[in-house]
Amino acid sequence: MTLPKHFRSSRLRIGVAFSSLALVLFAAVGVLSGEQARDQAQRDAGAAIEQLADRLAFGLDAGLAERFREIQNLANLENLFETRLEPERWRAMVDRLQSSFPYYSWIGVARPDGTVVAGTQGLLEGRDVSKRPWFAAGLQRAFTGDVHEAMLLASLLGPQPNGEPLRLVDFAAPLFRDGRVEGVIGAHLTLAWVQERRAEALKATDPANRVEISIHGPAGTIMGPAAPAVEVLRRLEVGPAIVEWSDGKAYLSATARAGDAQGKRVFDWTIVARQPVDTALAPAERLRSRIWALGLLATLLFGIVGWWLAGRLTAPLRAVAQQAARISAQRGGGAAPADDDEVEQLAASLGTLLTHLREREHELVGLNASLEARVAQRTGSLNQANEDLRSFSHSVSHDLKGPIGSIGLVLRHLVEQQGERLDAGTRRLLGEVVRECDRLRRLTDELLSLALVEQSEMTMEPVSMQALVDEVVAELRRPGAAGAAEAERAELVVHPLPEVHGDAVLLRQVWLNLIANALKFSAKAAQPRVELQCRATEAGHEFSVADNGAGFDMSQAGRLFGTFQRLHRASDFPGTGVGLSIVKRVVHRHGGSVWAEGRPGEGARFAFVLPRRPASS
């Protein structure tokens, strides 16, 4: 089953889960406490009505005992009278008793033969009561007679105020005089007295509780609602219970036994107090409704709290999902499908993002492969170009340098052998060509060196600069070498030089060019002096070659290291303008730097720094 879209929201689901949890919890609490409250209410109400029945039973028993005693006391009075059965005295006595306790409907005294001699208000006097059960029993002993309907008295007394038939309980006792029975005193107590007691008992209860009291005797219901079945009454003897009555309804009921007088049971009366179940358990019902109302309120509150919490919990998820969707959209994949469930939305967005990332990765792998292919192609072309350059250098050195050298040699030989036969102009011209040939050869050499410096593989190793300088100086001073005379004449001061890490062949080029330049440009000084030294700096070893020669204009210093750049005229100082560009390239390939300082006529100082651990380029 698929839920409607808005029910799929995680937020809503968490909120509903919270509410449901609260509902289940409160329902459990409600049911349990409701049951307990119901039991308690039943116990309380049962105890209350049982107490009510007990109190009424006690009152009735006390009243009966009192009446019983009254009649017996009255019977004992006969002994005190002077003459036998004095009707006036007895009438006055019973009238007084009736007026003090109006529930006596009749009190009278009869002779042993059954003739009434005195009665309240003169009633029944002269009548024969010998057939009445109370009289027959009263002749023998003190007697009580259970409820019965009185026909004769009813006709004499007129209708009852409540319209009910006149029902009586009888009391009788023999009148003794000198140990002999002189007569019987009989009294009829109306049930109005019992009704009065019952009404008093009920007055103490709340009418809203609808408590009723019924009294039942062996002959049936004496008053109140009709008696329930006998087995039901028997059940109630154990204690209050909810039982079904003859009207088919359930009542909380409790019983008490009444009818005791003088320590023995004279009537077998059962008093039953009952209360409709709904009013008896009303407090429990009220409590239950209150618990349910609270439970529902708490459920609502939990729902709101759950909703709010879920909002807070899912906010980061939503943010991540939106971010992922935005990234996907930016990458041209379109937004992730809109979904109300934050988790599903996040999963969908991340899924889309992942797909895009995979596509991109795929593209990148492809691109990388094509790039690698292109790099390989370019590297191939470069290698080819390098190879071409190498063969070009080779051809320059052999194909160009060789012929130029040969031309120079031939011409020099010609001038030396045939010089006298040539005119002065031709000789000067040939001399000029020979010099140009030398210059061209040198230029070729230096260009080859530059090409070598640019292309050669570097072999990094520990190089003793001291040894390298000694070697270069020895070469420059070698007899027959160009500039050997100048080198001999100049004072060369070499301070101790350290060992560095570099390419010995290339570094040799640096020293060769710098020392040769220093010797060349100081040759015209009165006492040429060249000084080599090294000092440690933060950047590395700083080597310098200083001379006291021609110097140069510092404003032109920027041009010095460019190829074919020269600051002096060739007629003053011959040269090609390639040497310093070789120096610069070698120093740079060692990761170092090079610069120059000088003043015209005051000499120059060329310095370069090599890092302590150079990166080979």
Q: Which residues bind ligand ADP (CB under 6 A)?
A: 513, 517-518, 521, 547, 549-552, 560, 565-568, 575-580, 598, 604
Question: CB neighbours (10 Å) of residue 365?
Answer: 10
Please state the closest distance from residue 491 (CB atom) to ligand ADP, in A: 15
Q: Which residue is nearest to ligand ADP (CB)?
A: 575
Nearer to ligand ADP by Cβ, of 45 and 545: the residue is 545
Of the pair 360, 559, the CB lying nearest ligand ADP is at 559
C-alpha dist (Å) from residue 1 to 4, 16, 258: 10, 18, 70
Which of 532, 552, 519, 554 minimizes the C-alpha distance to 608?
532
Q: Do 615 and 595 contact (CB within 8 A), yes or no?
A: no
Residue 252: how many other CB atoms lie within 10 Å:
25
Give DSSP secondary structure letters for 422-486.
Answer: S-HHHHHHHHHHHHHHHHHHHHHHHHHHHHHHHHSPP--EEEEHHHHHHHHHHHHHSTTSTTHHH
Least Å distance between CB 461 and ligand ADP?
27
As measured in angstroms, the least distance from the Cβ of 357 to ligand ADP is: 56
CB of 404 to ligand ADP, least distance (A): 17
Residue-wise DSSP of 295-330: HHHHHHHHHHHHHHHHHHHHHHHHHHHHHHHHHHHH
**Which CB, 105 or 576, lies closer to ligand ADP?**
576
Closest distance of CB 434 from ligand ADP, Å: 19
Q: Give 551 or 614: the residue with its C-beta nearer to ligand ADP.
A: 551
Residue number with CB closer to ligand ADP (271 or 560): 560
Shortest reach from residue 561's CB to ligand ADP, in Å: 8
Contact 560, 596 (CB under 8 A): yes
Q: Which is nearer to ligand ADP, 529 or 566 (CB)?
A: 566
Q: Which is closer to ligand ADP, CB of 84 or CB of 524?
A: 524
Say if CB 270 and CB 215 are below 8 A apart: yes
Q: What is the DSSP letter of 556?
A: G
**Contact by Cβ (8 Å): 104, 187:** yes
Nearer to ligand ADP, 346 or 607 (CB): 607
- Asked if residues 145 and 132 have their Cβ atoms less than 8 Å apart, the reply is no
The CB-of-369 to ligand ADP minimum distance in angstroms stands at: 47
Task: Compute the distance between CA of residue 303 and CA of residue 282 in angstroms, rounded to an integer.
Answer: 31
Task: Pull the structure tokens for residue 533.
Answer: 């030294």
Element (H, E) at 221: strand 220-223
- Quote the radius of gyration of the chain (alpha carbons, Å): 72
Give the nearest distance from C-beta 481 to ligand ADP in angstroms: 16
For residue 488, count other CB atoms closer than 10 A to its CB.
12
Nearer to ligand ADP, 6 or 569 (CB): 569
Separation of alpha carbons 359 and 51, rounded Å: 89
- Cβ–Cβ < 8 Å for 276, 42: no
Closest distance of CB 603 from ligand ADP, Å: 7
Which tokens in the block code for residue 562?
Answer: 């460019």
Cβ 423 to ligand ADP, closest distance in Å?
33
Alpha-carbon dihedral sign for residues 314, 315, 320, 326: positive
Alpha helices (H) along 83-209: 87-100, 133-140, 152-157, 192-203
In 3-state terms, what secondary structure has residue 153?
Answer: helix
In single-letter form, the type of residue at position 397 comes to S
Nearest distance from C-beta of residue 598 to ligand ADP, angstroms = 6
Which ranges of 6-86 would DSSP assign to H, the alpha helix? 10-77
Closest CA to 348 of 338, 357, 359: 338
**39 vs 553, beta carbon nearer ligand ADP:** 553
* Cβ-Cβ contacts under 8 Å for 474 (sequence gap 6 or more): none
Q: How far is the CB of 554 from ligand ADP (least distance, A)?
A: 11
Contact 269, 259 (CB under 8 A): yes
Beta bridge partners of 582: none
The residue among 98 and 509 lying less far from ligand ADP, judged by its C-beta, is 509
The residue (of 337 and 558) whose beta carbon lies closer to ligand ADP is 558
**In the complex, least distance from residue 547 CB atom to ligand ADP, rounded to whole angstroms:** 5
Q: Which is closer to ligand ADP, CB of 272 or CB of 567?
A: 567
Q: Which is nearer to ligand ADP, 46 or 577 (CB)?
A: 577
* Residue 616 neighbours by CB distance under 10 Å: 13
Q: How far is the CB of 586 from ligand ADP (least distance, A)?
A: 13
* The token pair that represents 584 in the structure block: 């610069």
